[in-house]
Chains A and B, each alone.
Chain A
Amino acid sequence: MTDPQTLDTSQDTPQHPEDTQPVDKQPAQQAPRGAFAYAPAPESRSVVAIAPSYGHFIDGEFREAAGGKVFTTVSPSTEEVLSEVALGGPEDVDAAVAAARRAFGPWSALPGAERAKYLFRIARIIQERSRELAVLESLDNGKPIRESRDTDLPLAAAHFFYYAGWADKLAYAGYGADPKPLGVAGQVIPWNFPLLMLAWKIAPALATGNTVVLKPAETTPLSALFFADICRQAGLPRGVVNIVTGDGAAGAALVAHPDVRKVAFTGSTGVGKAIARTVAGTDKKLTLELGGKAANIVYDDAPVDQAVEGIVNGIFFNQGHVCCAGSRLLVQESVAEEVLDALKRRMATLRVGDPLDKNTDVGAINSPEQLARIRELADAGEREGAERWSPSCELPASGYWFAPTLFTGVTQAHRIAREEIFGPVLSVLTFRTPAEAVEKANNTPYGLSAGIWTEKGSRILWTAEKLRAGVVWANTFNKFDPASPFGGYKESGYGREGGRHGLEAYLDV
């Protein structure tokens, strides 16, 4: 067998004893012997130029808040202030809605093929600027560059491409021969996938001939403001897309605005309920995409290694800041131990840290408020008797961090099995029979997504048919495609985004 010494180039003595000539090449000098420690591979920040301050994007122009107020947006991984952003109020919303109303007539009168050109152009610009946008998204949101680069950006572009394709084919979408747009769409999006949620909202709205006022989340406004620049770059007519930044007050003003014909919201169930109350009794159309507490069901004949990957992807993707995250693992008792051992072993290899490092798997928690909520619920899990486990993992000193966490011995009666945690916390429950799996999976106020892991096709079909969830993944998890409709049951909201179904919310049908 090879002499292990030959691996070591960090020694001063030459390896081959007969060699006495001096050695000046020591490339592996700093690599610790016996450990394949990945050197940092950070994505360059220089590809993105963040201005010190941003205004609202109204009628094709950036402008300060009417009240002159601003707030800051920080990088959750370092707490560094990235920029100052206008704090919107009712006056700003008024101005934005008025601009959108003015733009609506000419925009909706354009032939679909003309609107499609703009959408295709936007999609291509997103692709061209994807590296810049990915870095920006990771800076502002805290998500790993691996995910913003490989998931958020390609999907955001894909949504614009997909709905560009529909713009001149609306007559064939199944909503009548000549379906009409609604008017001004008021859209409020969350902080977990800032640019992707923007694409989900804006692409179908523009394809169907609506104009848009969008309010990005308070903690992640930057990619929407960069998108405003993309709209200008694409030559999009003024007022078709307007961005108002701010907190909940701006969102509330937008939702309540009398000239808004359609409200689309993605976010927490609590806010969703408040919006539903506001909109109730008006003729506004409303779609809500709210919380979730998805069951990820692992049957005893599941492909174990792939199921473990799916579980990891289901809950630790985007730090668990995913409304459709597989946060409740339902594993058949007969294989629970085996699956949990494999899961823990896999979790120990997750790399938590700098979101801009290309090798980071789990990034920062988006805000101190969210971190506090995750901590509170995790503590409640412990108090209520579930067993908590995390891999040993050193978290950075600054920024907001939470180690990937697993709770075993969880029952339906635990808070961590009922409430959405929206963080990297997995609750593990067991079941004995397929019927029990379905019963437990459905026993939640939510119904956004679910996962099924089994080698048996008939069991997949049987289970999927019985699950009350908008998306059911089989032998995979957290896979998205613009052609596939997405939305919930029960407290996870109503309406569908994506696919042909996603057009309905923006058409007068």
Chain B
Amino acid sequence: MLPKPVVPAYGSEAPERLASMADVTASDAALRRFLHGLPGVDAVGLQARAAALGTRSIKTTAKAYAIDLAISMIDLTTLEGADTPGKVRALCAKGARPDPLDRTVPRVAAICVYPDMAATAKAALREAGAPEINVASVATAFPAGRAALPVKLADTRDAVAAGADEIDMVIDRGAFLSGRYLQVFEEIRRVKEVCRRDDGTAAHLKVIFETGELQTYDNVRRASWLAMLAGADFIKTSTGKVAVNATPPVTLLMLEAVRDFRAAVGVQVGVKPAGGIRTTKDAVKYLVMVNETLGEEWLTADWFRFGASSLLNDLLMQRQKLSTGRYSGPDYVTVD
């Protein structure tokens, strides 16, 4: 049995409750007091829980379901200095039709590119007949985030103007680590403002912490709350550009943070682990974590994403294995 978890109701009272949180962001000191007043994280316990969730045995129908779910949650990513329109178009074609021989494979959630490639991606997806796939663009001086705020805002504005549906911004880890929480808060808030389009809609804002640089679990929890208070639609572990990227404990901690945030404020936020998730086995472990921490409501591409480039092919190979009973090989999936 797995009964439906009890989740507190949310909705109408959300804006009010969020407004009541305004005092905690009134000053650097108030924000620090609030963030440091959050419950602590016991590292050993967190890691043990993440490891225990990793031992779930997901087989047959559940595995098939998880594979398709994982595919539909991928932000298929290319973030190289050497990116070209050709490379981006190829990636878009792959996202639209992950397995050319099997039309039952779902499409990915988004194509994630640098801002200067957003327009190319948007057009390529339209041409591929997959306009519902979002274009996510990393902005704000990705991946270092070391630029003046006007530059970051301009970067974001460009990406939104080029048609990006989602903005993946990096926080200023230097400011965060030196305790200038209000500065980080303001930056997120300002970026969120420029995500707004003229027609009143807005690009979704994903806030990247680079958790490998934040170092401690307490910092990850504080960064999560900070970003959510500032209006993040998604919180994301990492850029994929440093040594330590998404890990199960860090992701679990962020899942707990979005759960607690919704219970406290009534606003639901998504989570995106990114970097280093390469195998179906890993992806399934993350889905189990979402399932048992947040439940079904977060088990859609609206609320959970994988930032990955090579994960898709392993998922496709596992999918082929499930449907044919045989392992194929890397030449039976495309290299784009």
B336 within 8 A of A: no
Q: In the bound complex, do residue B133 and residue A2 qualify as a contact, i.e. CB atoms below 8 Å apart? A: yes
The distance in angstroms between the C-alpha atoms of A325 and B133, with both chains bound, is 51
Q: In the bound complex, do residue A28 and residue B64 qualify as a contact, i.e. CB atoms below 8 Å apart? A: yes
Tell me the A282-306 residues at the B interface (CB within 8 Å).
Answer: 301-306
Q: In the bound complex, do residue B59 and residue A41 qualify as a contact, i.e. CB atoms below 8 Å apart? A: yes
Tell me the A464-500 residues at the B interface (CB within 8 Å).
Answer: 475-476
Contact code string B1-27 (vs A, CB < 8 Å = 1, else 0): 111111100000000000000000000
Residues of B within 8 A of A352 (CB): 1
Residues of A within 8 A of B104 (CB): 9, 14-15, 23, 25-27
Q: In the bound complex, do residue A30 and residue B45 qualify as a contact, i.e. CB atoms below 8 Å apart? A: no
Q: Looking across the interface, which residue of chain A has its beta carbon closest to that of B217?
A: A303
Q: In the bound complex, do residue A39 and residue B132 qualify as a contact, i.e. CB atoms below 8 Å apart? A: no
Q: In the bound complex, do residue A358 and residue B299 qualify as a contact, i.e. CB atoms below 8 Å apart? A: no
Contact code string A388-404 (vs B, CB < 8 Å = 1, else 0): 00011111000000000
Asked, given contacts A1-B302, A2-B107, whether A455 binds B40 with beta carbons under 8 Å apart, the answer is yes
Q: Looking across the interface, which residue of chain B has its beta carbon closest to that of A351?
A: B2
The distance in angstroms between the C-alpha atoms of A9 and B97, with both chains bound, is 14
Cross-chain contact of A348 among B3, B62, B109 (Cβ < 8 A): B3
The distance in angstroms between the C-alpha atoms of A351 and B42, with both chains bound, is 25
Cross-chain contact of B41 among A16, A305, A310, A476 (Cβ < 8 A): A305
Residues of B within 8 A of A29 (CB): 61, 64
Q: In the bound complex, do residue B62 and residue A16 qualify as a contact, i.e. CB atoms below 8 Å apart? A: no
Q: In the bound complex, do residue B65 and residue A306 qualify as a contact, i.e. CB atoms below 8 Å apart? A: no
Residues of A within 8 A of B123 (CB): none
The distance in angstroms between the C-alpha atoms of A349 and B6, with both chains bound, is 10
Please give the distance in Å from B93's CB to the nearest CB on chain A: 13
Q: In the bound complex, do residue B3 and residue A36 qualify as a contact, i.e. CB atoms below 8 Å apart? A: no
Q: In the bound complex, do residue A309 and residue B1 qualify as a contact, i.e. CB atoms below 8 Å apart? A: no
Q: In the bound complex, do residue B59 and residue A351 qualify as a contact, i.e. CB atoms below 8 Å apart? A: no
Q: Looking across the interface, which residue of chain B has its beta carbon closest to that of A35?
A: B296
Q: Looking across the interface, which residue of chain A has its beta carbon closest to that of B300?
A: A4
Q: Looking across the interface, which residue of chain B has its beta carbon closest to that of A38?
A: B62
Asked, given contacts A7-B69, A9-B104, A306-B45, whether A345 binds B56 with beta carbons under 8 Å apart, the answer is no
Size of B's binding interface in residues, CB under 8 A: 59
B135 within 8 A of A: no
B83 within 8 A of A: no
The distance in angstroms between the C-alpha atoms of A149 and B104, with both chains bound, is 38
The distance in angstroms between the C-alpha atoms of A353 and B2, with both chains bound, is 10
Q: Looking across the interface, which residue of chain A has its beta carbon closest to that of B46?
A: A306
Size of A's binding interface in residues, CB under 8 A: 58
Asked, given contacts A38-B58, A305-B39, whether A27 binds B134 with beta carbons under 8 Å apart, the answer is no
Q: In the bound complex, do residue B323 and residue A25 qualify as a contact, i.e. CB atoms below 8 Å apart? A: yes
Cross-chain contact of A30 among B61, B106, B109 (Cβ < 8 A): B61
Q: In the bound complex, do residue B2 and residue A37 qualify as a contact, i.e. CB atoms below 8 Å apart? A: yes
Residues of A within 8 A of B230 (CB): none
Residues of B within 8 A of A306 (CB): 41-42, 44-46, 49
B127 within 8 A of A: no
Residues of B within 8 A of A394 (CB): 1
Q: In the bound complex, do residue B65 and residue A28 qualify as a contact, i.e. CB atoms below 8 Å apart? A: yes
Q: Looking across the interface, which residue of chain A has its beta carbon closest to that of B109?
A: A2
Q: In the bound complex, do residue A36 and residue B62 qualify as a contact, i.e. CB atoms below 8 Å apart? A: yes
Asked, given contacts A39-B60, A393-B3, whether A303 binds B40 with beta carbons under 8 Å apart, the answer is yes
Asked, given contacts A2-B302, A27-B64, A349-B292, whether A14 binds B6 with beta carbons under 8 Å apart, the answer is no
The distance in angstroms between the C-alpha atoms of A309 and B59, with both chains bound, is 25
The distance in angstroms between the C-alpha atoms of A41 and B302, with both chains bound, is 29
A3 within 8 A of B: yes
The distance in angstroms between the C-alpha atoms of A391 and B4, with both chains bound, is 9
Please give the distance in Å from B36's CB to the nearest CB on chain A: 11
A458 within 8 A of B: no
The distance in angstroms between the C-alpha atoms of A309 and B292, with both chains bound, is 13
Contact code string A148-160 (vs B, CB < 8 Å = 1, else 0): 0010000000000
The distance in angstroms between the C-alpha atoms of A256 and B60, with both chains bound, is 55
Q: Which residues of B contact A (CB under 8 A)?
A: 1-7, 39-42, 44-46, 48-49, 55-69, 72, 97, 102-104, 106-110, 129, 132-134, 256, 287-288, 291-292, 296, 299-302, 319, 322-324
* A/B interface sample: 26 pairs, CB < 8 A: A2-B108, A2-B109, A16-B97, A16-B107, A27-B68, A27-B104, A27-B322, A27-B323, A28-B68, A31-B61, A31-B65, A36-B65, A39-B63, A146-B55, A303-B40, A304-B39, A305-B45, A305-B46, A307-B42, A309-B49, A344-B6, A351-B1, A358-B57, A359-B57, A392-B3, A394-B1
